[in-house]
Amino acid sequence: MKRIAILGSTGSIGKQALALAARHPDCFRIVSLAARDNLDLLAEQVRAFRPALVSVATAEAAAALRSRLDGAGAEIVSGEPGLLQVATHPEADLVLSAVVGTAGLLPTFAAVHAGKAVALANKEALVSAGELITAEAARRGVRLLPVDSEHSAIFQCLERGGTTSLRSVILTGSGGPFRTRPKADLESVTPGEALRHPRWSMGKKISIDSATLMNKGLEVIEARWLFGLSLDAIRVLIHPESIVHSLVEYVDGSLLAQLGITDMGLPILYALTYPERLPNHFPALDLARVGSLTFEEVDHDRFPCVGYAYAAARAGGTAPAVLNAANEVAVGLFLRDAIPFTAIPRLVAEALDRHPVRPVRSVEEVLAADGEVRAALLARYGSPLAARA
C-alpha cells in the first residue's frame, strides 16, 4: 500500500491519478490533496478518498471548503504554507507533483527536501530549477519518477539499456494541432483551435505549449536534468501518431523505444507503482490497427520555441526560469485573447534577450528571476483586455 499526496488533484493529471487510485484501492491510499479553487470537485474528492489534509489557494477558499465538508474530517489549510504541508505530509510515501506552472516549484522542492519520492508531472519546476532539485534529490537519496509520457519512456528504456553506451535520447512529439498549418495562418489561430489537441486531452497550459511546441522545449530541459544528459545528446522528433513515446540510441546505432496507447493513465500508473507494474483496465495497443508510424523533423521556422529552450538551457543560470516565466505569462495572455498565438514565442525571445543571465544558487534566486519577468510583462500587458501585441 503506497500512501500518496497529490498536488493539483483537480487537474487533468490529478484526476487521472485519483481515478487509478479508485480502481486499485488495495495499492494506494490518499493522505493529502492540494488544488487552487475548484472547490466542487475538491469536495467530491475529499468525500471519496478521505485524505487527512487538504490545501486550497486562499483562506477564503479554505473557509468555503470547510463549510461544504462539515464533518468530513479533513484538516483544511491554505496558501503556500498549505501547499507545502500537503507536499511534506508525514504519512506520504510518494508525492505526485501535478500543479501547473511555477506554482509547483516550491512544493516539489519541499517534497524532495523532506525525502519523499516524487512522481513528477510539473515539468516547469525542473525547467526553472532543475539543477537545484536534482542536487537535492541526490543529497536526500530521493527518486524523481517521470510522469511525462516521453520521460517515462526514456526512463523505461534506460532501465533496460543503461547509460554506459548511450549516444542520445530522442523525445517524440505529436506536432500539436498546427503541425501542418502554414506559417502565415498561425497569426490568426484562436485559443479554441489551439486547445484542440489531436492526440492528448490535457490541461489548458500544456495544450497551448503543445501547439507552440514549447512543450517539447520544456521537455528537453526536463530530460537534461532527469537523466543527467548533455544538451547535445537530446533530440526532438515529430511523431504524429503518438505511439512511440520516446527512444534512446546507443553507440552501436541500436534504438530502444517504448510504445503504448495514447493515454496518460499509463505513465501516471507506472510512476505511482514503480518499480512494480500493475495489470490494468487500459486497452492493449493494437499495432496492426495503427498501421503506420511516421516521423519528421521539427520545423524551427514555424515553431521557434524548441530552439529558444535549447538556447536558454545552454545559457544556464536564470535563463531557463526566464523562458518558463515568459512562456507561462504569454500563454495566459493568449488564452485571454490579449495577444495572438505568434506573440507567444516573440515574448519569450524578447524576455530572454532583455535578461542578463545570473547564476542560481537557491530556489529564491530562481523565483526572483521568475518574478522579474512576470512583473515586466504585467507592466506591459497589465490588463487581459490590453491591445493585441
Ligand X SMILES: NC(=O)c1ccc[n+]([C@@H]2O[C@H](COP(=O)([O-])OP(=O)(O)OC[C@H]3O[C@@H](n4cnc5c(N)ncnc54)[C@H](OP(=O)(O)O)[C@@H]3O)[C@@H](O)[C@H]2O)c1
Instruction: Confirm or reject binding of residue 343 to ligand X (CB under 6 A).
Output: no
Q: Which one of the spans 35-43, 308-316, 349-357, 365-373 is the region binding ligand X (CB under 6 A)?
A: 35-43
Among the listed residues 52, 92, 133, 202, the single contact to ligand X using CB under 6 A: 202
Helix 123-140 to helix 214-227 angle (10° resolution) is 0
Task: List binders of ligand X among 57-76 (CB under 6 A).
Answer: 57
Instruction: Confirm or reject binding of residue 34 to ligand X (CB under 6 A).
Output: yes
Instruction: Confirm or reject binding of residue 11 to ligand X (CB under 6 A).
Output: yes
Supply the minimum distance, in Å, between the C-beta of residue 210 and ligand X: 9
Pick 120 or 369: Cβ nearer ligand X? 120
Q: How many whole angstroms separate alpha carbon 325 and alpha carbon 198? A: 26
**One-letter-per-residue 3-state SS of 89-143:** CCCCCEEEECCCHHHHHHHHHHHHHCCCEEEECCHHHHHHHHHHHHHHHHHHCCC
Instruction: Confirm or reject binding of residue 36 to ligand X (CB under 6 A).
Output: yes
Q: Which of 174, 179, 172 is nearest to 235 (CA)?
A: 172
Task: List binders of ligand X among 99-138 (CB under 6 A).
Answer: 99-100, 103, 121-124
Contact by Cβ (8 Å): 103, 77 = no
Among the listed residues 24, 27, 43, 200, the single contact to ligand X using CB under 6 A: 200
Contact by Cβ (8 Å): 330, 380 = no
Pick 170 or 268: Cβ nearer ligand X? 268
Pick 13 or 367: Cβ nearer ligand X? 13
Task: Report the residue closest to ligand X, judged by CB.
Answer: 11
Supply the minimum distance, in Å, between the C-beta of residue 37 and ligand X: 5
Q: Collect all residues with Cβ–Cβ distance below 8 Å to 361 and sequence separation of at least 6.
A: none
Instruction: Confirm or reject binding of residue 264 to ligand X (CB under 6 A).
Output: yes
Q: How many whole angstroms separate alpha carbon 274 and alpha carbon 118? A: 11
Pick 181 or 204: Cβ nearer ligand X? 204
Among the listed residues 74, 83, 272, 330, the single contact to ligand X using CB under 6 A: 83
Pick 166 or 234: Cβ nearer ligand X? 234
163-193 per-residue burial string, b: 16 or more CB within 10 A, e: under 16: eeebebbbbbbbbbbbbeeeeeebeebebee
SS3 255: strand
Among the listed residues 176, 203, 317, 345, the single contact to ligand X using CB under 6 A: 203
Among the listed residues 4, 33, 35, 145, the single contact to ligand X using CB under 6 A: 35
Contact by Cβ (8 Å): 124, 102 = yes
Instruction: Confirm or reject binding of residue 217 to ligand X (CB under 6 A).
Output: no
Report residue 169 as a C-alpha cell.
535520447
Supply the minimum distance, in Å, between the C-beta of residue 116 and ligand X: 17
Q: Collect all residues with Cβ–Cβ distance below 8 Å to 354 and sequence separation of at least 6.
A: 376
Draw the binding track, 277-316, toward ligand X (x: CB under 6 A; -: no contact): ----------------------------------------
Contact residues toward ligand X (CB under 6 A) are: 8-14, 34-38, 57, 83, 98-100, 103, 121-124, 148, 200, 202-206, 264
